Every structure is written in C-alpha cells, then in structure tokens.
Amino acid sequence: MVDVALIFPGQGAQTVGMGKELYDSSPEAKVIFDKGQSVLGNDLLDVIFNGPEDKLKLTSYCQPAIVSFSCAALAALKAHPKFSSLNVRFTAGLSLGEYSALIASGAFSFEDAISLVEKRGSAMDEACKAQKGSMAAIIGFDKEKLKELCAQAGVEVANFNSPVQIVISGEEEKVVKACEMITAAGAKSVIPLTVAGAFHSSLMQSAADKFKQALNGAAISDLAIPVVGNVDAAPQSSADVVRDNLYKQITSSVLWEDSIKFMASQGVTTFIEIGPGKVLKGLARKIDSSLKVYNIATPADIEGLFL
C-alpha cells in the first residue's frame, strides 16, 4: 500500500471539453456528471463539454463544473484495480476544491455538495455585485513584508499558495495601491487577476452570512478520511468543524502551502491531483521539490498511474 493524499483544484482550472473522455469511457464517471446536471436542472454538461468558454467561466457554471469533473475523475479512479493499492491518508482542496475533498472523505453526498456549491456561488456573486473588488498574484516576495504592506494598503491576503506565490484581495483601488507598493518594494512579479470580486476577504462577509443558512440545513457527516482544511491547515474529522470551516473559508485566507507541508510532515510524500489542470502540481513543486504529484484527468492518466 502506498500512502497518498488526494488533492483537488479550485476555480480557474476549468477548460471547455474537460472530462469528456472520462464521460465517454467510464460508466462511474458518467453517473457523476449526469447527477450534477440532474441536481442543477440546467445545461451544465453541454457547457462543460462544448462551451462557450465565457459561459463556463460564470460562477454558476464554473464551480459545479469543476466539482463534477473532480468527483467523476475520482469515481473512475476508484473503479480501477490500481486504487486498491492506495492508502488515502488525507484529502485537501484549494478553495472550491475543498468541496471535492469533503465528498471524497465522506462528509456529504455528491448531490448535496453540488447543491451547496450552487448556493455558495450565488451568494458570492451577489457579494461581488454589491461591492467591487479585485485580486492580484504576487510572485517572489517575502511573506512577512507582504503582510505589512497589505495592512498599510488596506487589503488582505487571500491565498498563501506556495513560498513564491501569494494572492491578495480587497477593494479594487486599494489592490492597485498595494500592487504599486509591492512592486516598488521589489516583488519579482505582480499579476492582476481576472476575477469577479475580492474572494477570501472580508468583502465576502455578506456571502458567508447568507451561505451559513444553507450550511446549517445541510446534511454533513463525520469524515472517514481527514480533510486538511483551508482555514487552519489542520486535519478536520467532525461534521461540526466542517460546517464552521466552510463558513469561515469564504472570508479567510487559504493556507495551501501550510496544508501541503502538514501532510508531508505526516509522512505523505505522494499526492494525486484529481480534476482539471495541473496548478496544484506546480505549487507542490515550489513547496517541496521532493514530493511526487500525479494528475488524474483522463483515462490515460489512470492507466499511467505509477506508484
């Protein structure tokens, strides 16, 4: 048995056509995709497989699409004989990806999770429209110095993704000011992000409060496999902690670097990124170059999984 952690990507990893090979070749994956569309009652599958890209980028499609694809890929992996050689110690997901991780760990059913994701996206959309915000990725800059400059500019840190990539978030004009300050202080690169609002910041508080009603009514179970949470980079196993952390996650920083470091400290050196893209693989390499990271997005990826 090989000790592994399953990790799941978040919003931004989507591409038109993702998952089509799995849908056509894996009955288990097809079931998941079909359930997602059935729960939402829209044209989700057509948008995932055929676009247009602008429609897939919409939060109302993008978030359920990524969770659907990630869970479909996981279902296909679980159906393969290779899965029996894996000892899944932890799961984790970047922002939205935490929902896929929680499904994998048994916190809630796929159907309930997709419904929650839809409500989360709707609440976030409303918050974005109510208060204009933006985000920027900072490459190659000291973490503690960045925190100081963010405080001076009145913005917040949204994601601690890796030692060399941190994302800031806040009111649009304040993010511009912060970027100017950080650039002047010697950051290697400052990249404005094309996003709808200031995610993982206090500007999302109204979204968190609205979403809390949905969380309070959701059926959440204690976890079969610990999920390393975004909010505190610590393993969570109880339903009450999951519920509380999903509420906090909307406004809190995503502690992704610390999450990967925690799992590695527990002896997990092999990670399987399940879903679209290879963003998490790239981040893991920056966090700890000794880690092994495999990607599962196609049938060939499953067949080629070498552990």
Q: What are the DSSP calls for 148-177, one per residue?
A: HHHHHHT-EEEEEEETTEEEEEEEHHHHHH
Domains of the chain: which residue ranges? 2-129+201-303, 132-193
Answer for the pair 123, 130: CB distance below 8 angstroms, yes or no.
no
Decide if domain 2-129+201-303 falls under CATH 3.40.366.10.
yes
Helix (H), strand (E) at residue 70: helix 59-78
Cα separation, 74 vs 91, whole angstroms: 12
More confident residue, 306 or 114: 114
Determine the average pLDDT of the residues in 1-6.
95
What Rg do the C-alpha atoms of the chain give, in angstroms? 18
Is 194 a residue whose pLDDT tops 90?
Answer: no
The reported pLDDT for the residue numbered 206 is 96
- Name the 3-class secondary structure at 255: coil
Looking at the domain 132-193, which fold is it?
Alpha-Beta Plaits (3.30.70)
Mean pLDDT of 148-166: 97
Give me the percent of the chain exceeding a pLDDT of 90. Answer: 91
Query: Looking at residues 213-231, what average pLDDT do you find?
Result: 96
Across 115-128, average pLDDT: 92
For 238-249, what is the mean pLDDT?
A: 97
The catalytic residue positions are: 95, 200
pLDDT band at 253 (very low <50, low <70, confident <90, very high): very high
Positive/negative CA dihedral, 36, 42, 47, 52: negative
